[in-house]
Structure 1
Amino acid sequence: MILFLAGTSDAKELALLLFKEGYELIASVVTENAANELKQVQIPVRVGRMNEEKFERYVIEQRIEVMIDASHPFAEELSRTAMKVAKKVSIPYIRYERESKSYDHRLVTYVNHYEEAAELAAQKKGVIFLTTGSKTLQIFTEQLLNLPNTRLIARMLPRKDNMEKCEALGLPQKNIVAIQGPFTKEFNKALFKQYGVTLMITKESGKEGAVDEKLEAALELNIETIMIKRPKMKYETMFHTFEDVLNHVRTLRKKGGNDEWILKRSLNQ
């Protein structure tokens, strides 16, 4: 059994490839919406966050033999926990991560963490369009919400808990863009024009994370961008392509000396 940690748009594609090849797997996601997308392609799924203790217990109870971590590049806490649990129970850990991409432009400034992005934005002021999600929203509201000559616009998923968080942090409804992507360059440009954006804040999530569409829209409108770099993580086994992940899983099965190992589901099912 493979435990597949799914946290990106391309993770679903990789999970489906493994499933179609006959591997028995269960996907682990945080939200019901992500779970529903996987259920539509018949992939078993569990929903919710797990601390280290619950994570280890789940791996043992489900007799997990391989862990594939395809979580978001910025979900470093989950990846650290996953690696630690895999090591404790002595199972292979495989990291899939979309390729990183560098954007070299005079209007793009790189920073190392969210706090640095908020501090820089506070210096620049203006109409700030935040596309980093709700998890770190408080870092930005604390720095920017009541700053003179500054308006903070936050785009995030249209979930009840997100709206409740915005209310608790004092972010006005008129400054919330509650919508689910992916978004085209043209759609981003329309939003930027609508709100009169002067600064955009985003994460270096890679091409599949729709960074290109946001950045190209901003640059065409001469809007500055603050780009938050990916967390620096050390993975023992990491791949950037689906085929490399599939080949490695095949190799693990051969090393096990048993074709039934992590290949228990009939392809005819």
Structure 2
Amino acid sequence: MIFFLAGTSDARELAVTLQEEGYPLIASVVTENAVNELKKANIDSFAGRMDARHMCEFVTEKQAAAVVDASHPFAEEASKNAMEAAKLAGVPYIRFERKEQNFEKSPFITYVSSYEAAAEKAAEVKGTVMLTTGSKTLAVFTEKLLPMPDIRLIARMLPRKDNMEKCEQLGLPQKNIVAIQGPFTKAFDKALYEQYEVTCMVTKASGERGSVDQKMEAAKELGIETIVIERPEINYENRCSSFDEVLAQLNKLDIQGGVRSGL
């Protein structure tokens, strides 16, 4: 059995691929909605965050033969915990992460290395700032931008109850919340920017499957300043960017027999 961390749509596809190739797995996800999506594909899964120690105990208890980390590119803590857990449990660790996209240089695009730097830059732009970075780091932006009278902060995020509660706690007005689940087309993004008269859009370098290209192209065509938060730098072991690479790593690690037999 493989202990699998799933955090993106292509991660779910990878889980299905591995299982179809004869590698049984159990997936760890963040939300119950993700559990339901995986159950539709007959993938055993559960929701909940674990630190390195709890991951190690789980891997040991389930006699997992490997840890495959396909968490979100910005789920830095989850990846570090997974690497530590694999090390403590004495099993191989494999990282799957979709490739980053390269965009043409533009005076409208600024790359930053942190959420704090993104908030600082957005404060300089002023006008209507649209966040497409999720709810986890929302407080970084509300603390900096909400008190500013010449900035309207719009947050686009998944339509989950906990997200709405977080927005309320942080003082973000309902009229400034776009609760919707993608992926979105460029036409949709353009219409959204125009509706809210966006002057600055903040996003993460999540990759094509994160619809970053659509958001960026839409903003570029409208002349909207875009702030891109770069991925955290982590020294991953056995890093892969395709499903075939993951399968090759599993074969190279010579754990096929243990995995296929369900150990």
* Matching of residue 60 in structure 1 with residue 60 in structure 2: yes
Distance in 1 separating the partners of 2:66 and 2:54: 17
Distance in 2 separating the partners of 1:35 and 1:167: 26
Q: Quote the residue 2:96 is aligned against.
A: 96
Distance in 2 separating the partners of 1:125 and 1:25: 47
Matches within 5 A, 1:177-256: 177-252=178-253, 255-256=254-255
Q: Secondary structure at the match of 1:222?
A: coil
**Per-residue deviation, 1:24:** 1.1
Matches within 5 A, 1:159-174: 159-174=160-175
Count how many residue pairs are aligned between Structure 1 and Structure 2: 261
Distance in 1 separating the partners of 2:30 and 2:154: 25
- 1:50-75 C-alpha deviation (Å, 9 max, x unpaired): 12222121111111110000001100
- 1:136-172 C-alpha deviation (Å, 9 max, x unpaired): 0000000001202110000000101000000000000
- 1:167-203 C-alpha deviation (Å, 9 max, x unpaired): 0000000000000111111111110010000000000
Distance in 2 separating the partners of 1:161 and 1:43: 25
Distance in 2 separating the partners of 1:250 and 1:175: 49
**Per-residue deviation, 1:250:** 2.1
CA contact (8 A) 2:238 2:249 kept: no
Q: Secondary structure at the match of 1:236?
A: coil
* Matching of residue 36 in structure 1 with residue 36 in structure 2: yes
Distance in 1 separating the partners of 2:209 and 2:235: 22
Q: Quote the residue 1:150 is aligned against.
A: 151
Distance in 2 separating the partners of 1:46 and 1:62: 14
- 1:14-58 C-alpha deviation (Å, 9 max, x unpaired): 111001111111111010111111100101001111122221211
Q: Could you tell me the TM-score, scaled by structure 2's length?
A: 0.97
Distance in 1 separating the partners of 2:261 and 2:198: 53
Residue type of the alignment partner of 1:98: R
Q: Quote the residue 1:15 is aligned against.
A: 15
Q: What is the CA RMSD across the aligned residues, in angstroms?
A: 1.0
CA contact (8 A) 2:29 2:45 kept: yes
CA contact (8 A) 1:108 1:225 kept: yes
Residue type of the alignment partner of 2:70: A
CA contact (8 A) 1:145 1:152 kept: yes
Distance in 1 separating the partners of 2:5 and 2:94: 10
Distance in 1 separating the partners of 2:239 and 2:175: 42
Give runs of ≥4 in structure 1 deviating > 3 Å: none
> 169-178 vs 145-154, which deviates more?
145-154
CA contact (8 A) 1:2 1:68 kept: yes
Distance in 2 separating the partners of 1:212 and 1:136: 22
Percentage of pairs with the same residue: 58
> 50-59 vs 38-47, which deviates more?
50-59
Q: Could you tell me the TM-score, scaled by structure 1's length?
A: 0.95
**Per-residue deviation, 1:79:** 0.5
Residue type of the alignment partner of 1:74: F
Q: Secondary structure at the match of 1:15?
A: helix
CA contact (8 A) 1:66 1:92 kept: yes
Q: Which runs of 5+ in 1 are unaligned?
A: none
CA contact (8 A) 1:22 1:264 kept: no
* Matching of residue 260 in structure 1 with residue 231 in structure 2: no
Distance in 1 separating the partners of 2:68 and 2:53: 19
Distance in 2 separating the partners of 1:73 and 1:48: 18
> 103-112 vs 147-156, which deviates more?
103-112
Residue type of the alignment partner of 2:249: H
> 141-150 vs 130-139, which deviates more?
141-150
